[in-house]
Structure 1
Amino acid sequence: MNIKSLLLGSAAALAVVSGAQAADAIVAAEPEPVEYVRVCDAYGTGYFYIPGTETCLKIEGYIRFQVDVGPDESGPSSWDAFTRGQVQFTAKSDTEYGPLTGVIVLQANADNATFQDTILDSAYLDIAGFRAGLFYSWWDDGLSGETDDIGSPVTLHNSIRYQYESGDFYAGISVDELEDSPFYNGETPNNVGVAVGLGGKAGAFSYQVTAGYDTDNEAGAVRAMGTVAVGPGTFGLAAVWASDPGAYYNAAEWAIAAEYAIQATDKLKITPGAQWYGNYGVVNGATDADFGSDDAWKVGLTVDYQITDNFYAKATVNYLDGDDIDDVTTGYFRLQRAF
């Protein structure tokens, strides 16, 4: 009886074990393959492939703290501080027409804890020399210091342009929507402007010529600018002329600006500058806009210092005086970390 019970128990145990072995085995799931970010060196440093695509992306920007100084800078106060954060996304990919580029620049400014704004600073596409979207015009360019006043009062437009580039030379034409530019003689927003630009380098000399015509204000402007390496620095000279006050230039009928950017050390640059305005200011802007009949002049000094890699300080002070205006001194101090 004991032997029989033992045999029956052993048989049952073997059947249970056999059934367990016959059941589906528990198999651990294979881990998902990880696609690591790959460096893209086809368009310069800082680009990487967006995983799963052949599009290269670069992310860069800066953080800025600045204190502006001048009469009534913030209400009755003569100074005002603000902070800015900016980030730029640049995407590039190869096509049969050449690189296709898309750029988005987001900018946030904070004058204080409650008065803040976030804006789209630029957003455009670029392919085969054609660019369309929101971007800065050639009139945004200037000399390297902070004294010259030779650009448009508003330089960011919804535009479409074509720019030809070959080596150290470029030339292009742009059609600009001048919706938030100055308006005179009873004109209203949403007029059109046409700008052309050309420039390049020849050895130590660089040059740029820019012109624009504001169709509603019927005002044209042209500017020539050049720089050349001289001694320990770079000498810059610019001249601008406008037929009437308009969107492309409205500070004076004509102006000449000069500066000398002295590279004192690898980290320190000192730039004195000066500008002369002929027929300064705008009179009768609402009815029959014209430039004034008085002259003005401006002098200033800008100091740039690289504290360490990607961390910079800048300070500038400028003095403006004229025949029929009160003299004014303005300036700012800035700290900026780029990435």
Structure 2
Amino acid sequence: MNIKSLLLGSAAALAVVSGAQAADAIVAAEPEPVEYVRVCDAYGTGYFYIPGTETCLKIEGYIRFQVDVGKDQSDHGVINGHEGTSDWDAFTRGQVQFTAKSDTEYGPLTGVIVLQANADAANSAFQNTKLDSAYIDIAGFRAGLFYSWWDDGLSGETDVLASHETLHNSIRYQYESGDFYAGISVDELEDGAFKSGEEPNNVGVALGLGGKAGAFTYQVIGGYDTDNEEGAIRGMGTVAIGPGTLGLAAVWASGVNSYYDESEWTIAAEYAIQATDKLKITPGAQYFWNYGANEGGTDDWGNGDAWKVGLTVDYQITDNFYAKASVQYLDGDDIDDQTTGYFRLQRAF
């Protein structure tokens, strides 16, 4: 057999095999088109369409490292609870917020979930994870777990203008028109003040209005605690003056209640100085009449007065990275003098 015969025979054999394979060939299905994430600019920056839907989603949050200083700070106890015996305490927090929006015939339908985790120590026994907010909002109506108007405050860290808990399960309606808003809220007050010998089983009604007029912002709110049968009213305003913003606030409470439980009367002032584009310095002061509740119960105010001064410094290290330092001094007739403060680093995203 010569070379020519061998080549012709091999070619014929390959043709037969190829024909058999062609008869049995498996045709792969066409790949489905991939839907890439699309930017949603209808509600501001940071939103994108959830693939396959017309719902826009935004994910944001922050990571915080903080060191508190002062007498009896939290020592592997409640985060920021000041229940230990140490003069300093460090903790770390991670928070993430999911905001979903979509158009409806009633306007934007909004859903918000905020998850927060705190670690006072690496040991999991000293960690705290919670649902910080979760609510539905549409056409001015909001229902779920969210912070009330009483959580608003001046920009510094000196003022105490609300009770220790401003996060409630609530139903609220808020009307908005331009730079003005007004609304009413019904709040579950399970974590607030309650009378001696009773259990927390409380409901409150709050009213709020506020807005902006040029360089001036204002807010007037009130709350009535139905279980304690006491209420509180607060007025607050800011105005741009010179290199900073002047803030003033005043609160009156008819008695100890879940909206305000610090004192019968109080006034607060601060001046937030924008020293540079990145540096803000805020001195503040506050005076309390009939400070605190009498020992043995929460039914009435204390008889002494108190005053507080402090300084807060905010510095933007770079985009989305901030440092804050604060020191506060409290002096009262019926309490020991207290000096507290903290240093914080925070990365937002």
The CA deviation at 1:274 is 0.1
Give the counterpart of 2:311 among 301, 310, 313.
301
- Residue by residue over 1:279-302, the C-alpha shift from the partner in whole angstroms, topping out at 9 and shown as x without a partner, is 11101553x711112111000000
CA deviation after TM superposition for structure 1 residue 77, in Å = 1.2
* Aligned match of 1:99: 108
Secondary structure of 2:103's partner?
Answer: strand
Please give the per-residue CA displacement for 1:200-219, whole angstroms capped at 9, x wherever unaligned: 00000000011000011111
What is the CA RMSD across the aligned residues, in angstroms? Answer: 1.9
Q: Is the 8 A contact 2:201 2:227 kept in 1?
A: no
From 322, 344, 347, the equivalent of 1:334 is 344
Percentage identity across aligned positions? 84
Query: 1:121 maps to which residue?
Result: 132
Unpaired runs of 5+ residues, structure 2, are 1-8, 76-83
Letter in 2 for 1:91: A
Cα distance between partner residues in 1 of 2:45 and 2:13: 69
8 Å CA contact 1:320, 1:328 repeated in 2: yes
Aligned equivalents of 1:300, 1:293: Cα separation in 2: 24
The answer for the alignment partner of 1:6 in structure 2 is none
Q: SS of 1:312's equivalent?
A: strand
> Per-residue deviation at 1:37?
0.3
Structure 1, unaligned stretches of length 5 or more?
A: 1-8
Aligned to 1:258: 269
| Rg (Cα) greater in structure | 1
Number of matched pairs? 330
Task: Report the equivalent of 1:65.
Answer: 65
* Distance verdict in 2 for CA 1:103–1:18, change over 3 Å: closer
Residue 203 of structure 2 is aligned to residue 197 of structure 1 = no
Q: Report the TM-score when normalising by structure 2.
A: 0.91
TM-score normalised according to structure 1 size: 0.93
Deviations 1:54-77 (A, max 9, x none): 000000000000001111113221
1:33 aligns to what?
33
Amino acid at match of 1:57: L
Matches within 5 A, 1:126-145: 126-145=137-156
Equivalences for residues 1-339 of structure 1 within 5 A: 16=16, 20=20, 23-73=23-73, 74=75, 75-114=84-123, 115-284=126-295, 286=297, 289-339=299-349
Task: Using the TM superposition, give the Cα deviation of residue 181 of structure 1 relative to its aligned residue in structure 2, in angstroms.
Answer: 1.1
Partner deviation per Cα, 1:306-333 (whole Å, 9 max, x = no partner): 0000000000001000122211101110
1:184 touches 1:285 (CA, 8 Å); kept in 2? Answer: no
